[in-house]
């Protein structure tokens, strides 16, 4: 990967932090779709591949499969250390493994990188059939397209029905879509810090972030992947904006207050500690993510409406048959508890809304591992799917 070095001596990619062909594969495997994917917004996407990782062993009757779905800037590396091919450690590492809530001595856990992503699945940084990156020509996707691609992966693995589907934030949108569009394939459902439909404020925040990326002179209409100049500044700004919405005001105040960063003087061009914190998270994302994927997936999240074409949200939620738990984070200002309350009230198989206590805001669903593990343990023994033997499209 070609890189550039900033004045602070942080090594950044020249154009994109996406995984590209020739990079170490890490623990990834790939599912290759045999036909183009017909898209909800019109047209089709040829050459679809999904990168995925698995933990544990699939039972002979295929009754022990669990689907874990990541959020906007997540990927398939849910568990395990940072290693060649995986720039960061697993984002829910404490949840998966022997003796953990998703005990891999019993459960077969599958985590795909979402369609449109940048860590091995087909997205803007991927080559189209002509061999050139899709870039700005990558088509508009919805959560229904994501789930259609993931259903192909499930078919390839021989999984007719997931014992459990779990996701938070954007992953929760996909998990909900699984339960509404394919109730016969969803045995149990855990929804965390998500919504039945994207709200106006969520659309506004995401829209500002997309504008920040597209306003970068190096965006080049999205066709920057092979130019050596990518919209890193725009992506970093988008991440700074997003990260403020992911955390809570009290947490930021307690951690940083008005303190300056080290010996820097904010009155003389230096930074406050909270600014340094946001700079750090921007640099981290730029090193492992792609601006085109950020735009595509942000617009996908904004399109989310489980009731679209289904008679509205209430009618759509009534389709869910999976045993369901819905949880939100008490300090979440991006996806407030009222949105999870709507889900818990509208899903016939859900009980009361569960509340994760956390000072960390929206990110609490990632950081409060013990509380999330307790919710998982309530569900993992419900729903035992029937298996099938057809296994098309898997690559070792």
Q: Which residues are catalytic?
A: 169, 332, 362
Round to whole Å and give the CA distance between 197 and 205. Answer: 15
Q: Per 3-state DSSP, what percentage of the chain is helix, strand, and coil (rounded to 5)?
A: 35, 15, 45
Tokens 């022997």: give the residue: 98
Residues for the chain: how many in total?
A: 396
Dihedral angle of Cα 38, 42, 46, 52, to the nearest 10 degrees:
-60
Round to whole Å and give the CA distance between 145 and 38. Answer: 8
Tell me which DSSP letter residue 338 carries: H
Tell me which DSSP letter residue 136 carries: G
Tell me which DSSP letter residue 183 carries: G
Q: Which two tokens stand for residue 323?
A: 């045993």
DSSP states along 219-266: GGGG--TTTT---HHHHHHHHHHHHHHHS-HHHHHHHTTT-BSTT--G
Closest CA to 278 of 242, 319, 310, 312: 242
Tokens 């098309």: give the residue: 392
Asked if 372 and 326 count as a contact pair (C-beta separation under 8 A), the reply is no
Asked if 235 and 19 count as a contact pair (C-beta separation under 8 A), the reply is no
Asked if 112 and 119 count as a contact pair (C-beta separation under 8 A), the reply is no
Asked if 33 and 393 count as a contact pair (C-beta separation under 8 A), the reply is yes
């Amino acid at each position: 990967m070609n890189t550039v070095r900033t004045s602070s001596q942080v090594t950044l990619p020249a154009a994109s932090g996406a995984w590209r062909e020739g990079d170490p594969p890490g623990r990834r495997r790939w599912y290759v779709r045999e036909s183009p994917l017909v898209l909800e917004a019109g047209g089709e996407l040829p050459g679809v591949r999904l990168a995925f990782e698995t933990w544990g062993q699939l039972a002979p009757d295929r009754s022990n499969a669990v689907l874990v779905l990541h959020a906007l800037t997540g990927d398939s590396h849910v568990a395990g250390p940072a290693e060649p091919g995986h720039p960061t450690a697993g984002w829910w590492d404490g949840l998966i493994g022997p003796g953990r809530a998703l005990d891999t001595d019993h459960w077969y856990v599958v985590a795909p990188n979402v369609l449109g992503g940048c860590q091995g699945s087909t997205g803007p940084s991927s080559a189209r059939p002509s061999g050139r990156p899709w870039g700005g020509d990558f088509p508009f996707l919805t959560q229904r397209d994501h789930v259609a691609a993931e259903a192909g992966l499930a078919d390839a693995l021989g999984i007719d029905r997931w014992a459990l589907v779990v996701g938070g934030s954007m992953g929760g949108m996909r998990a909900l879509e699984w339960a509404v569009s394919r109730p016969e394939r969803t045995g149990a459902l855990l929804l965390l810090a998500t919504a039945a439909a994207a709200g106006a404020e969520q659309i506004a925040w995401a829209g500002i972030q997309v504008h920040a990326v597209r306003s970068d002179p190096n965006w080049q209409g999205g066709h920057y992947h092979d130019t050596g100049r990518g919209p890193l500044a725009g992506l970093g700004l988008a991440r700074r904006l997003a990260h403020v919405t992911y955390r809570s005001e009290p947490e930021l105040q307690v951690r940083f207050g008005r303190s300056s960063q080290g010996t820097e003087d904010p009155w003389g061009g230096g930074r406050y500690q909270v600014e340094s914190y946001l700079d750090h998270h921007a640099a981290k994302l730029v090193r492992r993510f792609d601006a085109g994927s950020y735009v595509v997936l942000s617009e996908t999240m904004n399109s989310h409406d489980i009731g679209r074409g289904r008679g509205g949200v209430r009618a759509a939620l009534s389709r869910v048959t999976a045993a369901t738990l819905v949880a939100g984070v008490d300090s979440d200002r991006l996806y407030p508890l009222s949105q999870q309350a709507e889900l818990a009230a509208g899903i016939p198989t859900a009980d009361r809304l569960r509340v994760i206590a956390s000072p960390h805001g929206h990110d609490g669903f990632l950081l409060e591992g013990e509380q999330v593990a307790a919710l998982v343990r309530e569900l993992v023994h419900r729903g035992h799917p029937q298996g099938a033997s057809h296994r098309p499209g898997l690559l070792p």
